[in-house]
């Protein structure tokens, strides 16, 4: 009997253990990982009905990312599952709650690529305008448009509206604005857009800076001017610290009351109470009584066109650009009616076509073959492969530049025997028979030349002091990495000509004037460094204008050298 009692006792213990193991196995949570956001979710996977998994929370969405549950899991009401006791279930620590979304914000799923998990993307549908700005399509906005139209201050609106575009990339506000204005001005880009059509698009505007760099940081105030000029526009730029609100308002009125003139702003969104940083957009009109300007925002996916007080726009330009640390500003743009590549006008004796072909067409391939490791290697490669005509062309350009800089000088008539040959890119004019031949003493001539060329000296002083490239090129010349001389002699009666005054500065000028396409096949890191060295924002408007003129000419040769209209064929090679 005693042995039987012990057997029964052992059997009862064994039965209890088996029962506990069964209960534990039916209630122990199983961890599954949500493959979208890696959030752990817990299930009781061994319920009385093995085909059904019990989800401990009753939500059908992930607690972390709020996306739908992807596995086909049925939820069982615990009140109907008598074999599961909530008190015995180990409840997990829940994931953080889903992020608080703005009214127009959603979490959506990007389309997965093969072998890639789907990840959530935060998306937005537009932004609400701040209350002090008037939406163009509102009743008040329509009334403002009607009144401004009646007062003649919407003349520039219609050509812009015909070409209104949305920027194709978040960083392309400057490029989209420029493409919109260039098309509104009816400028022929002289290069294909798509199919047989010539048209401006924001991803075509890369004559001053690589598109990849624009995607990273946008474009600066000076780069916008560069892009405008090399694509056929006449542009006047006004930085906020170099102008005043009255001049700004007058420029808005002029652009709004005349056809063929457009005003573009570079401004800070934050000052307008909007989200984002620096931005570009054209002005489409002006309401005189309320002193409001119509901003045609090219980020149409974010903000609709809106009316803004001129005083607020003025303040928005005072904000410094993070890239250049200088205030923003505005531009007044029109079509350059005389615009054509000067390579189609120059005399063939200057060999501009061959020089330009080498600059723009041959160098990218050469640089790709050399595969330079640093930006110094790039500079060395360029200067070691310059065509032999380069010093002659630069010297001729120096004479033309000197003439232009001193053209309005009151003492210009006292220059005397400055040079017997004044050379330009069009021809060389012999003035040896003029009354200036008496200046035969070289030393006297040089001193006299120095005493009256302040603007000439100031031009190259700007390059010396404010161009990052100058110190690099000077050091490379000193170390013999660059073999550089400007020694062409136009005037045999003097030992030194004006083109001999600033050889390192002329080399720097040439380097700054190369179009950005020269470096398209280099790595993005080297291109970014070259773009930094070639940044013109620290230079004066006079120097920038000259650099842009030469850069524009080189860029256009890349499109089609001497590809002119029938009435512009003088000087073109047949």
Segment 379-398 shows an average pLDDT of 81
Tell me how far apart the alpha carbons of residues 236 and 240 are, in angstroms, rounded to a whole number.
Answer: 13
526, 431: one domain:
yes
pLDDT value of position 508: 92
Tell me how far apart the alpha carbons of residues 558 and 206 are, in angstroms, rounded to a whole number.
Answer: 12
Contact 372, 299 (CB under 8 A): no
Say which of 37, 62, 65, 173 is annotated catalytic: 173
DSSP annotation of 191 reads: S
Number of H helices, E strands in the chain: 18, 16
Point out the least confidently predicted range of 140-154, 335-349, 449-463, 502-516: 335-349
pLDDT band at 8 (very low <50, low <70, confident <90, very high): confident
pLDDT value of position 46: 42
Beta strand extents in 273-377 (DSSP E only):
278-287, 292-295, 306-309, 329-335
- Which is higher by pLDDT, 117 or 531? 531
279, 369: one domain:
no
Contacts 24+ apart (CB under 8 A), 138-145: 141/306, 141/307, 144/287, 144/290, 144/292, 144/294, 144/307, 145/285, 145/294
396, 302: one domain:
no
Is 173 annotated in the active site?
A: yes
Angle at 264 between CA 261 and CA 270, to 5 degrees: 155
pLDDT value of position 223: 85
pLDDT value of position 378: 93
Write the burial class of residue 132 (CB in 10 Å: 0-12 exposed, 13-18 middle, 19+ buried): exposed
Alpha carbons within 13 A on the beta-carbon side of 43: 22
Pairing of strands 54-55, 40-44: antiparallel
Closest CA to 459 of 360, 545, 531, 359: 545
Tell me how far apart the alpha carbons of residues 530 and 524 are, in angstroms, rounded to a whole number.
Answer: 10
46, 140: one domain:
no
Chain segment 443-498, per-residue pLDDT in tens: 333 444 444 347 888 899 999 999 999 999 999 999 999 888 765 555 545 555 66
User: For residue 124, is it within any domain?
Assistant: no
Question: CA distances (Å), 376 to each of 467, 472, 553, in order?
Answer: 16, 8, 25
Tell me how far apart the alpha carbons of residues 16 and 5 are, in angstroms, rounded to a whole number.
Answer: 17
Among 335, 369, 391, residue at a domain's last position:
335
Residue 349 pairs in a beta bridge with none
453, 395: one domain:
yes
138, 254: one domain:
yes
Q: Residue 512: give the domain boundaries.
A: 342-568
SS3 label, residue 219? coil
3-state SS, 412-454, equals: HHHCCCCCCEEECCCCEEECCCCHHHHCCCHHHHHHHHHHCCH
pLDDT value of position 29: 47
Domain total in the chain = 3
pLDDT value of position 248: 97
With a pLDDT cut of 70, the percent of the chain lying above it is 62
DSSP annotation of 259 reads: T
Say which of 34, 153, 262, 279 is annotated catalytic: 279
With a pLDDT cut of 90, the percent of the chain lying above it is 34
Angle at 55 between CA 49 and CA 61, to 5 degrees: 140
Tell me how far apart the alpha carbons of residues 264 and 267 are, in angstroms, rounded to a whole number.
Answer: 10
Tokens of 174: 């400057």
- Which is higher by pLDDT, 119 or 259? 259
SS3 label, residue 107? strand
- Which is higher by pLDDT, 507 or 52? 507
Point out the least confidently predicted range of 63-72, 82-91, 398-407, 419-428: 419-428
247, 325: one domain:
yes
Among 103, 121, 150, residue at a domain's last position:
103
Segment 218-227 shows an average pLDDT of 86
Chain segment 325-357, per-residue pLDDT in tens: 889 999 999 998 876 544 333 333 343 444 565
The set of residues, in sequence order, having a beta carbon less than 8 Å from that of 205 and lying 6+ positions away, is: 175, 178, 179, 227, 231
Tell me how far apart the alpha carbons of residues 256 and 251 are, in angstroms, rounded to a whole number.
Answer: 8
User: For residue 228, is it within any domain?
Assistant: yes
User: For residue 38, is it within any domain?
Assistant: yes
Tokens of 433: 């028979």
pLDDT value of position 209: 72
SS3 label, residue 476? helix
Contact 330, 265 (CB under 8 A): yes
Contact 248, 149 (CB under 8 A): no
SS3 label, residue 198? strand
Say which of 202, 206, 297, 321 is annotated catalytic: 297
User: For residue 13, is it within any domain?
Assistant: no
Is 279 annotated in the active site?
A: yes
- Which is higher by pLDDT, 526 or 487? 526
pLDDT band at 252 (very low <50, low <70, confident <90, very high): very high
Tell me how far apart the alpha carbons of residues 371 and 357 are, in angstroms, rounded to a whole number.
Answer: 21
pLDDT value of position 51: 41
What values do phi and psi take at 34, rounded to 5?
-70, 120
Chain segment 430-445, per-residue pLDDT in tens: 222 333 233 233 333 3
User: For residue 201, is it within any domain?
Assistant: yes
The set of residues, in sequence order, having a beta carbon less than 8 Å from that of 364 and lying 6+ positions away, is: 517, 518, 519, 520, 521
Strand order from edge to edge, sheet including 54-55? 29-33, 40-44, 54-55
310, 180: one domain:
yes
Contact 230, 556 (CB under 8 A): yes
Tell me how far apart the alpha carbons of residues 165 and 281 are, in angstroms, rounded to a whole number.
Answer: 11
User: For residue 508, is it within any domain?
Assistant: yes
pLDDT at 237 over 70: yes
Tokens of 116: 């890639």
pLDDT band at 416 (very low <50, low <70, confident <90, very high): very low
Tokens of 14: 């064994």
Among 335, 352, 387, residue at a domain's last position:
335
Point out the least confidently predicted range of 28-32, 83-87, 558-562: 83-87
What secondary structure does DSSP assign to 323-342, as a single string?
TTSSB-EEEEEEE-TT---G
pLDDT value of position 471: 93
Tell me how far apart the alpha carbons of residues 66 and 37 are, in angstroms, rounded to a whole number.
Answer: 10
Closest CA to 479 of 488, 471, 487: 471
- Which is higher by pLDDT, 301 or 516? 301
Chain segment 99-113, per-residue pLDDT in tens: 444 445 555 555 555
171, 272: one domain:
yes
Angle at 333 between CA 330 and CA 336, to 5 degrees: 150
348, 396: one domain:
yes
Contact 272, 361 (CB under 8 A): no
What secondary structure does DSSP assign to 67-103, as a single string?
PBP-S------GGG-TT--GGGS-PPPPPPPPPPPPT
505, 434: one domain:
yes
pLDDT at 305 over 90: yes
pLDDT at 23 over 70: no
Indicate which CATH number applies to the domain containing 298: 3.90.70.30
The pLDDT mean for the chain works out to 73
User: For residue 552, is it within any domain?
Assistant: yes
The neighbour count for residue 96, using CB atoms within 10 Å, is 8
Tokens of 204: 């075509």
- Which is higher by pLDDT, 247 or 120? 247
Segment 149-177 shows an average pLDDT of 94
Pairing of strands 292-295, 306-309: antiparallel
pLDDT value of position 16: 73
365, 284: one domain:
no
User: For residue 196, is it within any domain?
Assistant: yes
Tell me how far apart the alpha carbons of residues 193 and 542 are, in angstroms, rounded to a whole number.
Answer: 33
């Amino acid at each position: 009997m005693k042995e039987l009692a012990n057997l029964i006792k052992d059997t009862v213990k064994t039965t209890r253990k088996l029962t506990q193991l069964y209960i534990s196995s039916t209630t122990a949570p199983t961890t599954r990982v949500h493959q979208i956001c890696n959030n752990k979710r817990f299930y009781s996977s061994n319920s009385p009905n093995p085909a059904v998994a019990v989800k401990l929370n009753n939500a059908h969405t992930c607690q972390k990312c709020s996306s739908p549950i992807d596995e086909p899991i049925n939820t069982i009401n615990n009140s109907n599952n008598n074999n599961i006791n909530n008190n015995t279930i180990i409840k997990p620590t829940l994931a953080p709650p889903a992020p608080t979304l703005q009214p127009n914000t959603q979490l959506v799923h990007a389309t997965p690529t093969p072998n890639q998990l789907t990840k959530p993307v935060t998306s937005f549908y537009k932004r609400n305008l701040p209350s002090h700005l008037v939406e163009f399509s509102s009743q008040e906005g329509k009334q403002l448009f009607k009144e401004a139209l009646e007062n003649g201050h919407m003349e520039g609106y219609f050509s812009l509206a015909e070409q209104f575009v949305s920027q194709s990339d978040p960083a392309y506000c400057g490029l989209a604005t420029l493409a919109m204005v260039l098309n509104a001005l009816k400028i022929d880009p002289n290069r294909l857009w798509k199919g047989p059509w010539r048209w401006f698009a924001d991803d075509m505007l890369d004559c001053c800076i690589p598109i990849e760099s624009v995607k990273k940081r946008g474009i600066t105030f000076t780069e916008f001017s560069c892009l405008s000029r090399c694509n056929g526009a006449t542009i006047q730029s006004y930085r906020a610290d170099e102008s005043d609100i009255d001049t700004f308002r007058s420029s808005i009125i002029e652009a709004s009351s005349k056809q063929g003139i457009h005003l573009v702003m570079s401004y800070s969104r934050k000052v307008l109470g909007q989200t984002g940083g620096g931005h570009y957009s054209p002005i489409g009109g002006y309401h005189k009584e309320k002193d409001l300007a119509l901003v045609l925002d090219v980020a149409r996916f974010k903000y609709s066109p809106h009316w803004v007080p001129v005083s607020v726009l003025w303040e928005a330009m005072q904000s410094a650009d993070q890239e250049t640390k200088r205030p923003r500003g505005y531009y007044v743009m029109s079509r350059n009616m005389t615009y054509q590549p000067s390579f189609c006008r120059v005399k063939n004796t200057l060999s501009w076509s061959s020089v330009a072909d080498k600059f723009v067409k041959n160098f990218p391939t050469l640089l790709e073959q050399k595969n330079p490791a640093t930006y110094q290697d790039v500079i060395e490669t360029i200067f070691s492969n310059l065509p032999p005509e380069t010093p002659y062309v630069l010297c001729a350009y120096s004479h033309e530049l000197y003439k232009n800089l001193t053209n309005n000088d009151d003492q210009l008539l006292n220059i005397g025997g400055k040079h017997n040959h004044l050379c330009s890119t069009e021809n060389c004019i012999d003035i040896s028979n003029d009354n200036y031949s008496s200046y035969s003493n070289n030393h006297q001539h040089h001193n006299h030349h120095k005493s009256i060329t302040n603007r000439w000296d100031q031009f190259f002083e700007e390059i010396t002091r404010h161009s990052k490239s100058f110190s690099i090129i000077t050091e490379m010349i000193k170390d013999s990495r660059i073999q550089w001389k400007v020694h062409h002699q136009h005037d045999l009666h003097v030992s030194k000509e004006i083109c001999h005054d600033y050889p390192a500065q002329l080399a720097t000028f040439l380097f700054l004037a190369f179009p950005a396409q020269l470096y398209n096949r280099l790595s993005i890191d080297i291109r970014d460094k070259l773009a930094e060295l070639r940044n013109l924002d620290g230079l004066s408007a006079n120097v920038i204008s000259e650099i842009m003129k030469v850069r524009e000419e080189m860029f256009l040769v890349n499109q089609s050298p001497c590809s002119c209209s029938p009435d512009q064929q003088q000087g073109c090679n047949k």
